[in-house]
A and B are shown apart, each in its own frame.
Chain A
């Protein structure tokens, strides 16, 4: 067996784990680890400009690849800077392993230089955490961290490492375990067959069914099975913001996103349904609107690997705890078995009427009737996303920040594949998009990657343009430039009589063209609609350049539909500034 120091064991364990990239930032407490990484030189390390960006980049990498993102930060400020990114990953159930340096063991608790209780600070926003006490425990602990992060309901795991156990002069026998068994941790492997049988019967008995699929289908690699089930039954499908791409966005059976800014037909179908199959979705308050008024006529089948997601806000009639893949496989088999016995299932006439109704909703109010194009002289944000869609043949990885631009991207870029849409839904973290795009582009250098952002959000991690230069990540930034914190402004328009408290920057915005050029990137400004498509084409034609496309859009546009709250149901929506359901 080999003898390695603590620091070397960490470098080696990451290598043995098959880690492709480490995103991090050095500092005193992790210098032994950095030296070991430098000497072994096996796992590439991306030096960000702020630790928050390291976590978002690792997160973007994880969302795009399905593999845990890996972060390495120093103690104290390095660790606290990582907190927002850890919380972001936690809320969206993203696998991530964060190695944080800690002061030497004998100094812990003494308010030592750069000491912070990282295990304590991160406790409510991690799936689990470890503080490693002995160097010998490092390999097994790292193995456990990866296992916990990626299995069951994925999530971030923090491994806090006191500096002294990484010192180079003490060597230990290194052995990286092939597998781990943790007696207190065993996520569900399959659903309850009896429940799945009941679910199959309920689904086939439906007259007005909807499949409501979320991020769990993407995280759990269940998209193919979801498509198989939906198409076998010819049932309509809606996705949450996190689930976009789980079902192909351009398919006829797809109703679009549901929820607060969901499609009219998706929200109407949910409200009027008699059976809802919820898969890997967690009945978030941005989806349900007022819970007591949620889908009054619907029976609910809920599949989720995390029992705590089931009946948390909306009670399930048939709860099924298990991973999407095995449960959907079994459910499809059960449905097929029933259909073999009874070819009349489901009720074709009822389903036909249901589709007629849905098509009527789709035609009457669909998302975009084209009216607002005509009304405005400026470029509409929706048109920018449509242009992006065309320029990338609908096949790009699209990361996003948070705000109106995020909702427009979600509504207008029809994601046909899982993992293509990468955004912070649960925490809603502005500053996510740019570093996330770095992680995605590193994972998929040959595929188009776009970061849809706003001039507010982009400034929250704009320093990463420098990282992009260092590692050459030629993705495209599409800035929907409305010169406002647009989403805030929209609420102020709707609820505060247009008092724009702190949602404008006055004349303080930087010259983005000069800014990006100073980092060695390319800037393109678009002020007229007729230049939009050409600019977009030009940007994506520059394969080896990061291009910042600054599109000046109509600042007064709002995102619609929008749920009417408080006390509204799913069907209660604003459809424009002056129309409502």
Chain B
């Protein structure tokens, strides 16, 4: 099952490599990963998505918790949560395709953030599923480049991941 694990960790050099290293060292895979500082500059927030059976996920969270730089973590998929992935996608927009791409972008509530004579650059946020569907919906249009931020997530309601 796909999981979103969100980690609060020391904003120290080397902390990220310990997290990433753990996954390669123990043969777990990371599907997406993003990391940035928080409102407290000594802490950074890392969100990653991974997949595995319950036993694997349990081991992953235990090992992550053991990393000395990791302050706290939560498996967001265990409760109600909000997840967002951001995609910037550059597609060829010429002839009939130009209108078609625009229409699809509107349907997905994306924004065309850069326009060229032959290309559109579209920004889209949403769940990873939604972004996948958009890519699939591009159909015959030529995709030139896709950049995704990886999932960022947060629990719904009053629950917070903080010190």
The reply to whether the CB of A120 lies closer than 8 angstroms to some CB of chain B is: yes
1/0 per residue B47-65: CB within 8 Å of A? 0000000010011001101
Whether B9 is near chain A, meaning CB under 8 Å from some CB there, is: yes
Q: How far is the CA of A311 from the CA of B53 in the complex (A)?
A: 14
Contact A127 B68 (CB under 8 A): yes
Q: Which of B11-19, B122-130, B137-145 forms part of the interface with chain A?
A: B11-19
Shortest distance from the beta carbon of B128 to any chain A beta carbon, whole Å: 28
Which of A42-50, A181-189, A361-369, A527-535 is the contact stretch? A181-189
Binary A-proximity of B31-45 (CB < 8 A = 1, otherwise 0) = 000000000000000
Assess the A129–B65 pair: CB atoms within 8 A. Answer: no
Please state if B59 and A184 are interface contacts (CB–CB under 8 Å).
Answer: no
List residues 76-127 of chain A with CB under 8 A from any CB of chain B: 119-120, 123-124, 127
Closest B residue to A306 by CB, please name it.
Answer: B66
Please count the residue pairs between chain A and chain B whose beta carbons lie under 8 angstroms apart in the complex.
36
> B85 interface residue, CB < 8 Å from A?
no
- Is B96 in the interface zone, CB < 8 Å from A? no
A308 touches B18 (CB 8 A): no
User: Are A312 and B163 interface neighbours, CB within 8 A?
Assistant: no
Contact A311 B17, beta carbon cutoff 8 Å: no
Provide the residues of chain A in CB contact with B18, threshold 8 Å: 123
> With an 8 A cutoff between CB atoms, is A131 at the interface?
yes
Contact A120 B17 (CB under 8 A): yes
- Contact across chains for B55 and A184 when beta carbons are under 8 A apart: no
**Cβ-defined contact, B25 with A124, below 8 A:** yes
Alpha-carbon separation in the docked complex, A154 to B55 (Å): 25
* Distance between B161 CB and nearest chain A CB, rounded to angstroms: 13
B21 with A124: CB separation less than 8 A? yes
Bound CA span A94–B66, Å: 16
Q: Are B14 and A119 in contact (CB under 8 A)?
A: yes
- Cβ B163 vs Cβ A183 within 8 A: yes
The residue from A128, A185, A308, A315 contacting B63, defined by CB atoms under 8 A apart? A308
Q: How far is the CB of B118 from chain A (nearest CB, A)?
A: 41
For window 107-160 of chain B, which residues contact chain A by CB distance below 8 Å? none
Interface pair A131/B13, CB less than 8 Å apart: yes
Q: Would A184 and B69 count as touching, CB distance under 8 A?
A: yes
Contacts of B86 in A (CB 8 A): none
Chain B residues whose CB sits within 8 angstroms of the CB of A124 once the complex forms: 21, 25
Known: A123-B21, A183-B163, A184-B9. A307 touches B65 (CB 8 A): yes
Q: Which residue of B lies closest to A124 (CB)?
A: B25
Among residues 138 to 157 in chain A, which have CB atoms less than 8 Å away from a CB atom of chain B? 148
Evaluate whether A308 and B59 lie within 8 angstroms (CB atoms) in the complex, with A183-B163, A185-B68 already known.
yes
CB atoms of A311 and B21 under 8 A apart: no
Q: Closest CB of chain B to A170's CB: distance in Å?
A: 22
Which of B9, B66, B69 sits near A308, CB closer than 8 Å?
A: B66
Decide if B14 touches A184 in the complex (CB within 8 Å).
no
Chain A hits for B66, CB < 8 A: 306-308
Q: Does B5 contact A (CB under 8 A)?
A: no
Interface residues of A in 370-389 (CB under 8 A from B): none
A residues 165-207 near B (Cβ < 8 Å) are: 182-185
Who on chain B is nearest to A315 by CB? B55
Interface pair A184/B68, CB less than 8 Å apart? yes
Residue of B nearest to A125 (CB): B25
* B89 cross-chain contacts in A, Cβ below 8 A: none
- What CA separation (Å) do A311 and B55 show in the bound complex? 8
Query: Which chain A positions have C-beta within 8 A of B65?
Result: 307
A123 touches B68 (CB 8 A): no
Is B97 part of the binding interface, using a Cβ–Cβ cutoff of 8 Å? no
Kindly identify, within residues 297 to 337 of chain A, every residue whose CB is under 8 Å from any CB belonging to chain B.
306-308, 311-312, 315
Interchain residue pairs with CB less than 8 A apart (18)? A120-B17, A123-B17, A128-B68, A131-B14, A183-B71, A183-B163, A184-B9, A184-B10, A184-B68, A184-B70, A184-B71, A307-B65, A308-B59, A308-B62, A308-B63, A308-B66, A312-B59, A315-B55
Q: A119-B14, A184-B69 are in contact. List 13 more A-B contacts (CB 8 A).
A: A120-B17, A123-B17, A123-B21, A124-B21, A128-B68, A131-B13, A131-B14, A184-B9, A184-B71, A185-B68, A308-B59, A311-B58, A315-B55
**For the complex of A and B, 9 pairs with smallest distance between CB atoms:** A308-B62, A184-B71, A128-B68, A124-B25, A307-B62, A185-B68, A123-B21, A308-B63, A184-B10
Q: Which residues of B are in contact with A by a Cβ distance under 8 Å?
A: 9-10, 13-14, 17-18, 21, 25, 55, 58-59, 62-63, 65-66, 68-71, 163
